[in-house]
A = this chain, B = another copy of it.
């Protein structure tokens, strides 16, 4: 019950292994009739090229790697990742590329996994996510010499190819909008503070609040889960004077936060305005629907995948700046209550 090999085909067709290889790969060097005969035999006995043997000759693995340093259970919790992966997949599957996925506990393990996959010839490239400031993974990946796309700011990407969007503009838009509505006390529920984009958002938030003359802007950091979003909201709403508007770094926390507000007998949007970053179906489905900073995460992932494939193909590739999230006003924002 062994798998058929080109040697089997060669024997049946009465030609050499080399001829079979040429025939099956569309290379010149075999007559049309012989080629047809070989192809027919291959078809009949159900032959498939052994990728290991191919890879041994330096072929592509037709696979892209994604190792995530997050607890495995967070995968299902964070809509961002799922959307990102589905966007990456949509691009990869169109080109018959597969995605190698592994969840690892930390950065060291992540590097070890990439090192192994690359060293073993299992992947042709990788996508680096959750970029930190002075991320130690960047120099490691650089020395590997593997094609890598980084989701994050170019300043932190080293010589790797960055794919990013300017979160500063988005947060500026959100704060300006809230200010125009009359809000003076705006607070932010941010994500993991060690991630570069969290800090970039923090800074931009601080800057725009200062510009617009808002009272000291507060940012609370969380791990993106609903639970921490709820806890952060409770803390912020217990302050005095309490903020009249909250901006959340993802929609899960925004929904959880709104729930807390309602539990505290605050009306959204009459007593409290809420803005969510990332606009999933969830944001539109809750009552009231959430004003959101929308972006097409799947398209973002698809762009990253497309650039990685180009990089793997040896093309010249330029950094890609996605358009910033745009504000989609819905019913969760309104002028603040009269003082």
Contacts and interface: CB of A to CB of B under 8 A. Distances in A.
Contacts of A101: 85, 89, 98-101
Contact of A51 (B52, B79, B90): B52
Contact of A252 (B3, B225, B281): B281
Contact of A255 (B50, B81, B285): B285
Interface in A2-21: 3
A3 to B, nearest CB: 7
Contacts of A76: 79, 82-87, 297-298
A292 to B, nearest CB: 15
Contact of A102 (B54, B93, B145): B93
Interface string A17-36: 00000000000000000000
Interface string A256-281: 10010010000000000000000001
Interface residues of A, number: 62
A50 B116 CA distance: 9
Q: How many copies does the complex hold?
A: 2
A258 B81 CA distance: 26
Which applies to chain A's interface (DSSP): helix, strand, loop or mixed? helix
Given A52-B52, A52-B56, A259-B287, A90 B116 contact: no
Interface stretch (A67-75, A124-132, A153-161, A205-213): A67-75
26 contacts: A1-B145, A48-B115, A49-B119, A49-B120, A51-B52, A51-B55, A51-B121, A52-B52, A72-B87, A72-B90, A72-B93, A72-B298, A73-B90, A76-B79, A76-B85, A76-B87, A76-B298, A77-B281, A89-B101, A93-B104, A98-B122, A99-B101, A225-B281, A226-B281, A255-B286, A259-B286
Interface of A: 1, 3, 46-56, 63, 72-77, 79, 81-87, 89-90, 92-93, 98-104, 115-117, 119-122, 145, 225-226, 252, 255-256, 259, 262, 281-282, 284-287, 297-298
